[in-house]
Amino acid sequence: MRIGRKGSGVMDLPKGFRERMEVLLGEEYPDFLKSYEGERAQGLRLNGWKTEEGRRDGWEQSGAAREAELLCGLAGFSLRPVPWAAEGYFYGEDCRPGRSPLHEAGVYYIQEPSAMSAGALLDPQPGDLVLDLCAAPGGKTSHIASRLKGRGFLLSNEIHPARARILSQNVERMGLGNVVVANHSPEQLAERFPEFFDKIAVDAPCSGEGMFRKEEEALAQWSPERIRACAARQQDILRSAAVMLKPGGRLVYSTCTFAPEENEGTLARFLLEHPDFYLEEREGAPGFVPGRPEWAWFGRETEGEDVETLHLERTFRLMPHRIFGEGHFIASLRKREDAFAGDHAFSGYRIPGNPPQYLDKKKQKILWSSFETFLEESLADPEELKGRREYLLFGDQLYLVPPQMPDMDGMKILRPGLHMGTCKKNRFEPSHSLALWLLPGQARRVRELAPDSPEARAYLRGEALAQETAEKGKKGGDKGWVLVTTGGFSLGWCKLAAGVLKNHYPKGLRRQGD
């Protein structure tokens, strides 16, 4: 059974775009054009941080797949694996995973399947220092962070403030603790972090030709001039990324466009300018098409330099008539081990200490005491968090920052790690971020709501819950904070007092009339 959304015929593609693609694809062009009439792939990627062994039993048993099947309501339907992403699955048009409480619990991220390829190609490992340079809305950030398994450090950056806020919200929903969200230009970051990162993801802003079926704005804005402008901006971004990568480090470049000027052309110019980089030979998934070196200077009136030694065929094109997914381009570059470090190599770390900063000593003591009281009353093992040293205070907001976080003083930081909570009138109120980061077994009191239950929907609307004996199942008495879960995954907080479970699901996230 095919899955996805059926199209309504050939889209009104720009004439210039059609002419370019016919020249590029030749005899494949009719098949390419026909792909716009077919089904559009839709996918979700399970959150490895929530489902990885040690936090859950594994992706296949995560509950996300079971809930998606339930929502699809199709006899015999099951999620189909995405071949190029171990955590990725295709789902059908009748499935609405975005409406499930499991989505709000961060069990999965809804992501176009082709876009999952970049995170898989970067292959971050626990302990890596990683930069997601153009990170909004957060799909690749959540993919990278889940593979870090809570170890290492990820700086997730977005230059546009509004998009950076969306990025920060998605980091919270996915329950990620070792991610710092910043709002800077690539050039500003390059001045701050020379040769600091082990791996860098550059999902470059592009003309978006591969997303025409998904994003009407990309279709409406298409023009040859836009392609040239994007290609120029991509060069600037890659130059900054090159400065920040350690010798021996990996850089994955990706776009969602077919335009050679932004793909083979961008990389050809970068590699000729940066001989300390080379394209890695990586294995692609079935249907991935090798890059086309002969397209490196496409659109130019004069032929450029010889690119044979650059091995542009080691890049990958994801074409909608070759795979079940939208158009994408990915490439894995390595910085040579003997690359000259220069005079600006990163000089060291600053690890924030305990107690928190930026309050006078009296207020620090009050906050720390209230935080310790919360830990003792609400967590099964309070010593685990009491023993951590990497706490930082912004105003009355307490954060647990990644141990390997460098000095961020003076930077525009939206999220300096895991937001623990707020000090209010000499008491500590835990954050929604902390709830989503915790495992149910870490809380003293837990209230489980079935994902398809009226109670789960009521909770997401902000309604109070009826008290059950389960809240008294662990030490803590008949009052205090209760971790609300769904399908075995943390969803948010309630506060138990006088027999009432007051809803603390954030007002800005509450659903209306669901």
Q: State the pairing for strand pair 289-290/39-40.
A: unpaired
**Which of 325, 265, 332 lies closest to 295, judged by CA?**
265
**Is 265 labelled as part of a ligand binding site?**
no
Non-local CB neighbours of 361 within 8 Å, separated by 6+ positions: none
**Is 137 labelled as part of a ligand binding site?**
yes
**Which of 238, 1, 225, 213 lies closest to 114, judged by CA?**
213
- Distance set, CA 405 to CA 129, 143, 432 (Å): 9, 19, 22
Distance CA 69, CA 76 (A): 9
Kind plus residue range of the DSSP H or E element containing 81 = strand 80-81
- Distance set, CA 199 to CA 84, 126, 175, 350 (Å): 19, 12, 22, 20
DSSP letter at 210? G
Using an 8 Å Cβ cutoff, are 140 and 118 in contact? yes
Q: Buried (b) or exposed (e) across 94-112, using 16+ Cβ within 10 A?
A: ebebeebbbbbbbbbbebb
Distance CA 443, CA 434 (A): 11
Angle between helices 264-273 and 224-244 (to 10 degrees): 40
**Is 54 labelled as part of a ligand binding site?**
no
Sign of the CA dihedral with 332 first, then 148, 404, and 187 last = positive
Residues designated as active site: 256
Kind plus residue range of the DSSP H or E element containing 500 = strand 500-503
**Which residues on neighbouring strands pair with residue 485, listed in sequence order?**
448, 490
**Is 139 labelled as part of a ligand binding site?**
yes
* Angle at the Cα of 334 from the Cα atoms of 329 and 337, rounded to 5 degrees: 175
Length of the chain: 514
**Is 134 labelled as part of a ligand binding site?**
yes
The three state secondary structure string of 123-185 is CCCCCCEEEECCCCCCHHHHHHHHHHCCCCEEEEECCCHHHHHHHHHHHHHCCCCCEEEECCC
**Is 497 labelled as part of a ligand binding site?**
no
Distance CA 209, CA 258 (A): 6
Distance CA 266, CA 164 (A): 25
**Which of 233, 324, 229 lies closest to 38, judged by CA?**
324
As annotated, the binding site for S-adenosyl-L-methionine includes 134-140, 158, 203
